[in-house]
């Protein structure tokens, strides 16, 4: 069961990461009026804009990862606690 909880935590982390990426991209587009810099398109992007987007995106990603890891650890601790009681 411990493996199942870790697998579920990984799935939640991936889902939250994808959702976080969509939210960051949407907020970036609403605030700047331009699409997020990805390096795939031919539109010129300033270095300042690319670095700002990278900083915001990495910050959100790290926060999501930390929260998902904490949630998984709490679930594992709760499961271990209830298993000891039974």
Which is more confident, 5 or 71?
A: 71
Give the structural domain span for 28.
2-85
Q: In sequence order, which ranges of the chain are alpha helices (DSSP H)?
A: 2-32, 47-85
pLDDT computed for residue 6 by the predictor: 74
- Least Cα distance to 12 among 78, 79, 64 occurs for 64
Q: What is the pLDDT of residues 36-63, one digit of tens each?
A: 888 777 677 888 998 999 999 999 989 9
Cβ atoms of 5 and 79 closer than 8 Å = yes
> Could you tell me the two tokens for 62?
């790290």
Total structural domains within the chain: 1
Summarize pLDDT for 6-37 with one digit per residue, the tens. Answer: 787 788 888 888 988 999 999 999 999 988 88
């Amino acid at each position: 069961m411990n493996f199942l909880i870790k697998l579920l935590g990984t799935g939640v982390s991936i889902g939250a990461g994808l959702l976080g990426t969509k939210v960051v991209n949407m907020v970036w587009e609403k605030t700047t009026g331009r699409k997020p810099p990805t390096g795939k398109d031919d539109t010129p992007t300033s270095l300042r804009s690319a670095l700002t987007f990278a900083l915001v995106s990495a910050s959100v990603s790290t926060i999501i990862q930390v929260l998902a890891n904490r949630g998984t650890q709490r679930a594992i601790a709760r499961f271990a606690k209830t298993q000891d009681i039974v």
